[in-house]
């Protein structure tokens, strides 16, 4: 059974605007092929305050997500230098409450 992908609204409104077009397509392919099949296998767990979250490395960019049952909640898609500072304000996001 494939995992469902749910995206934080800020990804479309903020994150994608900062990413070059050629990198966007590479990120989209990585997300669709890896996170829909085996998100725990392809990602790495984060530590400390970000403990329940995972990261997927795609070049210099990181996809930060949380695995909830058969869903993958994607919180951020940003450059590695800014992703961990930006993610703290998105940790309370729950797509089921929208």
Domains of the chain by residue range:
4-93
3-state SS, one letter per residue, for the chain: CCCEEEECHHHHHHHHHHCCHHHHHHHHHHHHHHHCCCHHHHCEECCHHHCCCEEEEECCEEEEEEEECCEEEEEEEEECCCHHHHHHHHCCCCHHHC
What are the tens digits of pLDDT across the range 15-31? Answer: 999 999 999 999 999 99
Residue 84 has a pLDDT of 84
Residue 63 has a pLDDT of 97
pLDDT score of 97 more than 90? no
Q: How confident is the model at residue 13 (pLDDT cuts 50, 70, 90)?
A: very high
Q: What is the CATH class of 4-93?
A: alpha beta
What are the tens digits of pLDDT across the range 29-76? Answer: 999 999 999 999 999 999 988 999 999 999 999 999 999 999 999 999
């Amino acid at each position: 059974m494939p995992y469902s992908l749910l995206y934080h609204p800020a990804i479309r409104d903020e994150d994608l605007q900062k990413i070059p077009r050629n990198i966007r397509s590479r990120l989209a392919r990585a997300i669709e092929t890896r996170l829909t099949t085996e998100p725990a296998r392809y990602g790495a767990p984060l530590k400390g305050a970000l403990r329940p979250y995972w990261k997927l490395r795609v070049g210099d960019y990181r996809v930060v997500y949380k695995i909830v049952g058969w869903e993958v909640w994607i919180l951020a898609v940003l450059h590695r230098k800014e992703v961990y500072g930006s993610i703290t304000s998105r940790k309370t996001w729950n797509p089921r409450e929208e």
